[in-house]
Amino acid sequence: MTSPSQDGRNLAPRAVCDSQSQMTEVILPNDANPLGNLLGGRLMHLIDLAGAMAAHRHSHSHVVTASMDHIDFLQPVHIGDLLILKSSVNRAFRSSMEVGVKCWVENYIAGTTCHVASAYLTFVAIDETGQHHPVPCVVPETEDEKRRYEDASRRREARKQEQERRKAQIR
Ligand SMILES: CC(C)(COP(=O)(O)OP(=O)(O)OC[C@H]1O[C@@H](n2cnc3c(N)ncnc32)[C@H](O)[C@@H]1OP(=O)(O)O)[C@@H](O)C(=O)NCCC(=O)NCCS
């Protein structure tokens, strides 16, 4: 049994499937450039929202985006396309969570889907006063979840090293 944290939060470990989230968006002219392709910044906004959903559900808390890792736009997305974004919490640390978001475009005429982008984001759980606080651990169950859980630690170390390197460059 996990005891509640000092502020009474329930820190019992949670399964990945408990917070997995999905968003579907129809791409409209307002989301696109003059050639009718989805704007990269708009896709990043949707990725941020989809990622936050999983982080909110896992932590039962307000969250802020601390970082978004490298993102490649693999295929153009067009006006009228159905964009599907799936998010899951790969691992929780103390107050932060790594969330993976994968995006597909669905061609509902042909019945096919195509992977268009993926990103890892780190969200930090905060209270109403903006203080960060501990979050429950993640329990990976499937083989894929276990792999992502292990990889998340390596990515966190890489992020920290990169942050240190950038700080040293600024000094
Ligand atoms: C993210 C933020 C809460 C970190 O606060 P901080 O006081 O610098 O935090 P700390 O150094 O004590 O780190 C707190 C946690 O955040 C993580 N973190 C901090 N900066 C990070 C970054 N750039 N990338 C990934 N994780 C980060 C730390 O690893 C730590 O995680 P842990 O508790 O699981 O070990 C703070 O910088 C912030 O509020 N940023 C603005 C967030 C925001 O407004 N986002 C929307 C975009 S404008």
* Interval 111-149: pLDDT, tens: 999 999 999 999 999 999 999 999 999 999 999 999 999
Decide: 24 and 96 in contact? Cβ < 8 Å.
no
Ligand 1 nearest-atom number relative to CA 163: 23
Judge if the beta carbon of residue 159 lies within 6 A of ligand 1.
Answer: yes
Question: And the tokens for 17?
Answer: 């499937």
- Asked if residue 81 has pLDDT above 90, the reply is yes
Nearest-CA residue for ligand 1 atom 29 is: 96
Question: And the tokens for 106?
Answer: 């669905």
Ligand 1 nearest-atom number relative to CA 135: 34
* Interval 39-62: pLDDT, tens: 999 999 999 999 999 999 999 999
Full-model pTM: 0.95
CATH number of the domain located at residue range(s) 14-170 in this protein: 3.10.129.10
CA distance readout (Å), 99 to 39, 60, 96, 124, 148? 22, 15, 10, 11, 10
Ligand 1 nearest-atom number relative to CA 130: 39
State mean pLDDT over 95-118.
95
Domain ranges of the chain: 14-170
Decide: 10 and 137 in contact? Cβ < 8 Å.
no
